[in-house]
Amino acid sequence: MNATTRLRPAISLAVVLLAFAAVPMSISGAAVALPGIGADLGASGAPLQWVMNAYNLTFASFTLVAGSTADLIGRRRVFVIGATVFAAGSLLSAAAPGIVLLDVARALSGIGAAGVFASGGAILATTFDGAARTRAFAALGSAAGLGLAMGPTLSGWLVGALGWRAAFGLNAALLTLALAFAGFLAESRARRRPRLDVPGAVLFVAGLGALVLGTVQGPEWGWSSPGVLALLAAGIASLVLFAVVQRRSAAPLLDLSLVRNRRFLALCMVPVVTTFGFVTLLTYLPTYLVGASGFSAQRAGTILLLMTAPVLLAPPLAGALVNRGVPGRVLITLSLAMFAAGNAWLTVIGPATSVAVIAAPLLLIGLGAGVSFGVGDGMAMSLVEPEQAGMATGFLNTMRIGSEAIVIAVFGAVLVSLIGARLGSTELAAKVAAGDLSDGASATLAAGFTDALHIALYATAAVCAVGTVAIAAALAEPRRPVPASGEQPVAAKVG
């Protein structure tokens, strides 16, 4: 065995980790660049917000299609195509002369991100096994956490020093570097390779796209507006029809046996609970700290490290515990319980609350996210056959990205509604939820923001608690049958 062959798995892991850090960085980092983009391109409101929405919409809609395609034509091939599209979209974003082209370029980047995420996890699942696979997926969780946590910081530095275009240039550079070493990735595909289920792909992309679009536009158009209701109805109808088509298809885009596997489905719900318990805070807590508490953006970012730092450190520790015999389902259950407890505990926050008071709940929430990132994906992939690695990874990440797009929009709408009920103005409430407390008595606005946030936190804690119980029950080992009198007990298979 030559040196290249020995190093190939390590280089493959490094390539996938680099890509998995860059993709979420493009989500969290772009938010920091929005003010500079708006000022430079003369954009505001919906066109400016679609710099974020376009990326999330296509990312969520195309991930399952990319995963199933990877099983058919090759996981490395889809990774390379996805990384190339992502890098091209990022370069176009950096060079965009106007907001419309920027939004289109961001949508293109989202399609590329879907290819990277769907194929990257499948590549690791087919490259490693056993304890090595657990370590690889723990590292994958750390990489995604690194990108999510460092995105705002790196983008903030680049925007301040070189302008907003440099933030998108960084994303292009990282994926170009990953592409330079993509030749070390081993190619793999399913042994049986039928044609791509085109009707299923069209129905799924259209259905999920309409559902996400309707949810994203709900706060702006109004949840009862004909446009939003039509989008939501069309999305649900398309996804129901998609399920019918998949049941009858000989080569479905999504094998419904995966969804019927209760343990796999439970592990796919872990990212959904994580979105409620962690990602919503990552999105809206900084605006509270800046608007209600009066911290600078830099100070708010530093405080947020209390929640994001554990995401970088906990995944390898969680993976090591699994390899030492700690059941993964125990760690998953504990991580989700941390979300419930941490969000309820965070209700101690107020405009004059010191950082020391909120440090413990933020650390607890971050630790929960780190543990779930470290073991959840690896456990899910251990339950599927290598033939379906791309499809399974695509479905898992569709649940992750789709839930982020939908839950963040709903959380924001609920927060605005709660603030508006206290201030008597929806327009003013929207400004307060965005961290702008300049229109009126700041103490009154901060109190309204605080009350609304407390209710939202308690509701989030309740959702996480319900999710914890449901997922723990689904992951529980089946009970061993009690042998009848005189019969020899049969050894149960360990799952």
DSSP 103-115: HHHHHHHHHHHHH
Q: What is the pLDDT of residue 479?
A: 64
Residue 490, pLDDT above cutoff 50: no
Q: Is 387 within 8 Å of 61 (Cβ atoms)?
A: no
Average pLDDT over residues 258-270: 90
Q: Does residue 108 have a pLDDT over 80?
A: yes
**Sorting pLDDT into bands at 50, 70 and 90, what band is 493?**
very low
Please check whether residue 217 is in contact with residue 231, taking contact to mean a CB–CB distance below 8 angstroms.
yes
Both structure tokens of 422: 């206290």
pLDDT digits (tens, 9 = 90+) for 44-64: 666 777 888 888 888 888 888
- Report the amino acid identity of residue 477: E
pLDDT of the residue at 483: 57
- pLDDT computed for residue 482 by the predictor: 57
Statement: residue 477 has pLDDT above 80? no
Higher-confidence position of 216 and 321: 321
Average pLDDT over every residue of 172-197: 84
Q: Are 344 and 468 in contact (CB under 8 A)?
A: no
- Side-chain half-sphere of 149: how many Cα atoms within 13 Å? 22
Q: Round the average pLDDT of the chain to a whole number and report it.
A: 85
Q: What angle do CA 401, 403, 406 make, to 5 degrees?
A: 110
User: Which residue bears the tokens 């949840």?
Assistant: 223
Q: Which residues contact 349 (CB under 8 A, 6 or more apart)?
A: 288, 357, 358, 450, 453, 454
Confidence at residue 440, expressed as pLDDT on a 0 to 100 scale = 62
- pLDDT tens figures, 183-194: 888 888 777 766
Residue, of 484 and 12, whose pLDDT is higher = 12
Kindly report the pTM of this predicted structure.
0.81
Distance of alpha carbon 341 from alpha carbon 365, whole angstroms? 8
pLDDT at 485 over 70: no
Higher confidence at residue 129 or residue 44? 129
Q: What is the mean predicted confidence (pLDDT) over 326-345?
A: 94
Q: Is the pLDDT of residue 171 over 60?
A: yes
